[in-house]
Amino acid sequence: MEYLKLQDYIGAKLLVTVNKDRLIVGNLVAVDCSCNLLLDGVEETTRHCKRRLGLVSVPGSTIDSVELDKHEIDKMIARRHAILQDVV
């Protein structure tokens, strides 16, 4: 099994469920010590609408779940291997 560090997730596309009824999809830009997320290219979906938001700060206290699809994890592992190849 491949172990990823938090910095490996930067640039990954995340699916974040907020307050049980909002789905926010965007690319991770940053995380702070309170688990607040900064996402770019965000699209928000609720029961009533879908809209593009751009750059969004998501308070950690409002996050119900964070998901990545398998393809995103594979890309992160490949990117980590490529970086480590250049270092060694």
- For residue range 26-59, list pLDDT tens digits in order: 999 999 999 999 999 999 999 999 999 999 999 9
Q: What is the pLDDT of residue 88?
A: 56
DSSP 18: E
* The amino acid at 27: N
If phi over 0 gives left and psi between -120 and 50 gives alpha, with beta otherwise, what is residue 55? beta
H helix runs in 1-88, sequence order: 70-87
Give me the architecture of the 6-87 domain, per CATH: Roll (2.30)
With a pLDDT cut of 90, the percent of the chain lying above it is: 57
Per-domain residue ranges for the chain? 6-87
Helices (H) and strands (E) in the chain, counts: 1, 5
pTM for the model stands at 0.81
* CB contact at 8 A, 56 and 23: no
* CB contact at 8 A, 52 and 43: yes
